[in-house]
Amino acid sequence: MKTGTLFLDEQAKVTLTRYLHDDSPELANASTRPAILVLPGGGYRVCSDREAEPVALAYLAEGFNTFVLRYTVGEAAIFPKPLTDAEKALETIFERAEEWRVDKARVAAIGFSAGGHLAAMLGVSGRVRPRALILGYPCILESMGSILQHPVPGAEKAVDAKTPPAFLFVTCEDGLVPVNNSLSFAAALDKAKVPFELHVFQKGVHGLSLAKPLTSGGVKNLVSPAAARWFGMSVDWLHGLWGDFPADAEQV
């Protein structure tokens, strides 16, 4: 694995960390790979570590090249500054796609909570857009600005025909970001005839990340075997959208 971190804005401490597969002649069918840009949550106050590297490494293990953006947070995170950070990150991935062996036609952005809002805004209004969205318990509605660092625009209002296909997951028991955020975004996607998949799990609190012990910080209610299925479902969805790595040869 090859890793490294770029400063996209040193003053705001905006960084893009990459996790890239090593090249190997034994993996000739994966010389160029799809990629995932990870946007952690944290209310635009912080970037959650639980929703950053563990998520990137999980997708890395599934064959993706992955990137984690730590965007502007805190007092300086007045919109659209975080969106500008995300646009710069995506532009950097596209510009260096050949060097990093990324397939520019298969780059998804995944975001959680406030990071889900940022991913959604990148998908609906970014000057560059990902080719797919994965949104985990996302803040979507303008009303969610009341619990975030600063007011935010409603992402559902900007959905158009150019919005990329989306995969959303949320839980009914989320007491911080109500399920109607995801339902509203799904309704807007449906109206614009944008393909999407929506999973509403009954059990699970806000901030599940991978919903496994390794991302729980030792907190019991951040583990949910049922909700943890979202990750495998998202990989299957991406394969259905883009195809898997080719494996057509009869023998070695």
Residues 6+ apart with CB under 8 A from 185: 120, 135, 138, 140, 155, 156, 159, 166, 168
Residue 250 domain flag: no
Is the link from the previous residue into 40 a cis peptide, with omega within 30 of 0? no
Query: For residue 147, how many other CB atoms are within 10 A of its CB?
Result: 13
Spans of the chain, pLDDT less than 70: 252
pLDDT tens-place string over residues 24-67: 999 999 999 999 999 999 999 999 999 999 999 999 999 999 99
Residue 213 lies in a domain: yes
**pLDDT the model gives residue 249:** 84
What does pLDDT average to over the chain? 97
In which domain, by residue range, is 45 found?
2-242
Task: Give me the CATH number covering residue 86.
Answer: 3.40.50.1820
Domain contains 61: yes
Report the helix count and the strand count for the chain, using DSSP H and E: 6, 8
Q: Is residue 249 part of a domain?
A: no
pLDDT of residue 207: 98
At 250 the pLDDT is 81
Question: Is 248 part of any domain?
Answer: no
In the chain, how many domains are there?
A: 1
This model's pTM is above 0.85: yes
Count of Cβ atoms closer than 10 Å to residue 89 Cβ: 26
